[in-house]
Amino acid sequence: MNVNIVLFDDFNALDALGPAEVFGKFPEHFHIRYLSASGDVINSAQGLKVWTDSLRPEEIDGVFLIPGGKGARRLLWREEALLDLIRDCAKNAELCMMVGNGSALAAQTGLLYRRKIADIAEDKNWNRMFTAGIDRLASYRIVLDGKFYSCRDTLSGIGMALFAIEELLDISLAEKAATAVGYAWDQDAEDVFR
C-alpha cells in the first residue's frame, strides 16, 4: 500500500517524517512516496530539503498524509490549484491523515464538512475562517472520523499513524511499531476520539 505524503515549502518536517518513520517499519506493507505540486525539491520550515515526485490524483491510493506547518497558511490564500489537487487526492485515498493545521488545507476542499477533526492550536478567528461547518473537538488529541484521521500537533502524528496501522494491518503490528520508535502508545486513551 502506498503512503502518499504531500509536501509544500515550509511544511513541518516532523509532521511528515514522524508518521513516515512509523509506516517505514513495515516496508513489506507500505511504500512511502513524497509528492508535491511541482515534483521538485521542497524545503521544510526546519531547512530539510526533500526531492518529490509530481502529485497526480489518479495515482493516489492507500494513505494520503497532509502535514502542517507555516507554509499551510500561505497555501490557503494563494494556492487554489494545489487545494484542488489535495481534494482529488483525498477523495481517492483509503485514508486521509492530517497533522496540525494540515487539517485546514483539507477543510478548504469541502471534504470535511460536517465531520469531526482534532482542534488545532491556531487563533480562534483563523479556526473559524478555515474550518466552518466542521466540528473541532478541543478535548481530543487525535480524531478518527471514517477515513479522515486528524491530530492537533506534531507528536500526535506518530500516534495517529499507529492507529492507521492498527486499522490497515493489525494491532500487534501497531504495538510493535510503537516499541520500535519509542512511542508510549495507548490505543484506549481518553483523548482519542473514535
pLDDT tens digits, residue range 77-118? Answer: 777 888 999 999 999 999 999 999 999 899 989 999 999 999
Strand partners, 5: 34, 65
Question: How are beta strands 2-6 and 49-51 bridged, if at all?
Answer: unpaired
Full domain range(s) for residue 138: 2-193
| Across 43-57, 78-92, 137-151, 170-184, least confident range | 78-92
Supply the pLDDT for residue 123: 56
* Neighbouring C-beta atoms of residue 16, cutoff 10 Å: 28
Q: Is the pLDDT reported for residue 40 higher than 70?
A: yes
Q: Check: CB of residue 73 under 8 Å from CB of residue 11.
A: no
Task: Give the count of domains, the chain.
Answer: 1
Supply the pLDDT for residue 79: 76
Q: Provide the CATH number for the domain around residue 7.
A: 3.40.50.880
For the chain, the average pLDDT equals: 93
How many whole angstroms separate alpha carbon 77 and alpha carbon 84? 13
